[in-house]
Amino acid sequence: MNFPAGKNTPKNRIFASLLFALLALVLLSLNAYAPAGSLPASSSSPYIIGVKVYQPVDRPEALFNAWKKLGINTAFISQELAGQENFIRLAREAGIKIFIILPVFYNPEKLKASPELSAITGEGRPAKDDWVEFVCPGNRAYRQELVEKARKLVEDYQLDGLSLDFIRHFVFWEKVYPGAEPDLLKTTCFCPDCLATFQEETGIKIPPEITGYPAAPAWILKNHRQAWQEWRNGQVASMVEEISLAVRQVNHFLLLNIHLVPWRQEDFGGARISVAAQDPKSLFRYVDYLSPMCYAHMVKRPPEWINSVVVDLKNIAPNPIIPSIQVKEAYLPQKLTLKEFDLCLQSALKPPSAGVVFWNWEALAESKEKQQVVSKRIREFTKQKETERSQTRQKLTVPRAGLRSSPYGARQPFPGVDYWLGAAGDMARRFPGSKPALVWIVSTMERDRARKDAQVYTSRTRLTFPAPSGGENNYENIVFADSDANEAYLEEFDRAGYQVWLQVEPAMADLPTLIDLVMERYSRHPCVIGFGVDVEWHRWSEQDNEGVAVTDDQARLWVERLRRWNPGYLLFLKHWEARKLPPAYRDGLAFIDDSQIFKSLDEIVLEFARWSRWFYPSPVGFQFGYPSDRPWWQKLSDPPADIGRAILEVAPNCSDLFWVDFTMKEIWPEKK
């Protein structure tokens, strides 16, 4: 029986019959395999209006009421405040999301006790400027300590999210003004360990006659600057990845935010990467939000600059962008006036912003006038966004929408072609301009008939059509049907102009061979747009019961084989775990997520948004409507449309939406 392998993450399994689907539903109702963690009731709001709060507060209930009147729905709090009795509990009861701020490489207390952990500049000095001092981002012991600290925060507190601050290399960016030319010899980390690791991992060797500071760092920057920057960026990105993996093992639905230096791509000669080592392209897949610290007054920028930072980031990353703005002057003697604050807030809320975070509440609490500005602008923003959202949701479209079809998913007898034409067409009509489409499964895992006590499979896949003439016994781990189950359907799909993916459950069969067998038989059909592999069943065994991960080389080989039949064909790879799919190869691929076992629409949307970002900008698709999710989707007014539109709001690279055949007759009953 295929049940979820772990209860911390939503796992999709293919149920061989309605019996197993219903059994999984019963288990879900008992919470035997429910995902850990849950989304707060307020998560349906797509916008974050937040405040950063560092100091303990009196009368939290009154504070939360004041926030709600201003339109504030999220608090980014210090670890000190998180420890205040009942603060987080009361915030959640009030509908306020809570993110704990985790400083990553800024740790003065640690450096005071262990100064040898300091990052080292190219001049050979500890990374310190005023109050800013950084730990070496490459120190393995410190990194592991940080990961465990993050994990413990999530275990100890009922958080909605974790907000990663100082997740970069050393720079006092708050005092970097327009026209500055950063000195790369003042960047980090050039400590002996980092220099040794860089050489080991890149194969670049510093000549033996080049020693000491600043000679060795200067040699690297002159001769291998690109390689050095990529390696430094990797230190930051891998830290985000390690924290993300650790905390989501505790709470899969924990939200992650990352604080970014407010530099655009070309600012200071590309210093976002060369100095801070924050490359949004390598970071966005691991987190849910990006929050540039757009303190315009502090860095001597005009208010409209804030929106330009948001636009710059949005051109790179699909995540919601939540700019943080300052409430009160800092580092400069000039006052941040009410008018300038208002202009900054308006700029921060301009499209494509998904909200704003105020730095900080302590400053905002001092000014009733600025609170009035906040209340007014947030009301305007929310009203405008909700109007736009309501209008946009009805117009959301996707290239293809339809149904998944398998020999075992629908209640028997297997529906006739008119049913598939009608139901898939009706699904597509929910999304204006979409083509009716089907995932048509043409091979399934062969059941081990000798194992009557459990649902176990052999190493073979069973194709739903006969073998080529004389070839019945010539194909290892492949068995054939006596008659063709697909031809009559594909002919009608041709006539109707539908689009069809031909999918296999490969077992231990050779994939290029399966591609050739399927395409030799069906590539003549104009409805066929490509080939699909359910990776859950790729080289499946009782030991590897979620399938064997696909490598870049395998994916490249399969795409090349498929293109022999038609250069325009795409190959889709399907799973619910992104790490089961090729880490880097993308050409000619689409990626289908078939996750299930969610508690709400919010959870499935969050999961699919993460899938979309992981493979962005490659095309992605989604299967939904599983029996295990019926308790919540059956309450929606139009489940296929409501789920599909919610997905399209968060997945700009979505190419395919499919309702599964296990429950399709509940949505599209067969005519008697």
Q: What is the pLDDT of residues 118-128, one digit of tens each?
A: 999 999 999 99
- Domain range for 302 is 42-111+132-178+234-392
Q: How many domains, the chain?
A: 2
Q: Which of 293, 1, 334, 255 is nearest to 174 (CA)?
A: 293
Q: What is the pLDDT of residues 14-52, one digit of tens each?
A: 333 333 333 333 333 333 223 333 333 334 457 999 999
How many CB atoms lie under 10 A from the CB of residue 2? 18
355: left (phi over 0), alpha (psi -120 to 50) or beta: left
Is residue 224's pLDDT more than 50?
yes
Last residue within a domain, chosen from 338, 359, 392:
392
Same domain, 502 and 377: no
Is residue 11 included in any domain, yes or no? no
Is residue 207 included in any domain, yes or no? no
Domain at 486, CATH number: 3.20.20
How many CB atoms lie under 10 A from the CB of residue 217? 25
Same domain, 384 and 405: no
Same domain, 604 and 593: yes
Percent of the chain with pLDDT over 90: 86
Q: What is the pLDDT of residues 188-214, one digit of tens each?
A: 999 999 999 999 999 999 999 999 999
Q: How many residues does the chain have?
A: 672
Last residue within a domain, chosen from 353, 370, 392:
392
Which residues have CB under 8 Å from 119's CB, separation 6+? Answer: 105, 126, 127, 134, 135, 136, 137, 169, 170, 188, 189, 191
Same domain, 149 and 240: yes
Is residue 29 included in any domain, yes or no? no
Q: If DSSP codes are grouped into helix, strand and coil, which group holds residue 592?
A: strand
Same domain, 607 and 660: yes
Is residue 153 included in any domain, yes or no? yes
Is residue 72 included in any domain, yes or no? yes
Same domain, 377 and 428: no
* Angle of CA points 584, 537, 406, to nearest 5°: 115
Query: If pLDDT is split at 50, 70 and 90, which confidence band does 390 have?
Result: confident
Task: State residue 436 phi and psi, 5-degree precision.
Answer: -60, 135
Exposure of 424 in the CB half-sphere (CA atoms within 13 A): 30
Exposure of 434 in the CB half-sphere (CA atoms within 13 A): 29
Is residue 171 included in any domain, yes or no? yes
Same domain, 104 and 251: yes
Q: What is the DSSP letter of 416?
A: P
Query: If pLDDT is split at 50, 70 and 90, which confidence band does 276 have?
Result: very high
Is residue 80's pLDDT more than 70?
yes
Percent of the chain with pLDDT over 70: 92
Looking at residues 635-653, what average pLDDT do you find?
96
Same domain, 147 and 292: yes
CA distance 509 to 15: 21
The radius of gyration of the chain from alpha carbons, rounded to an integer in Å, stands at 27
Last residue within a domain, chosen from 366, 392, 418:
392
Same domain, 589 and 613: yes
Of 220-234, 389-403, 509-523, where does mean pLDDT reach its minimum?
389-403
How many CB atoms lie under 10 A from the CB of residue 4? 23
Same domain, 499 and 513: yes
Is residue 5's pLDDT more than 70?
no
Is residue 46 included in any domain, yes or no? yes
CA distance 549 to 580: 4
How many CB atoms lie under 10 A from the CB of residue 14? 21
Is residue 8 included in any domain, yes or no? no
Query: E strands within 497-639?
Result: 499-504, 528-534, 570-575, 589-593, 620-624
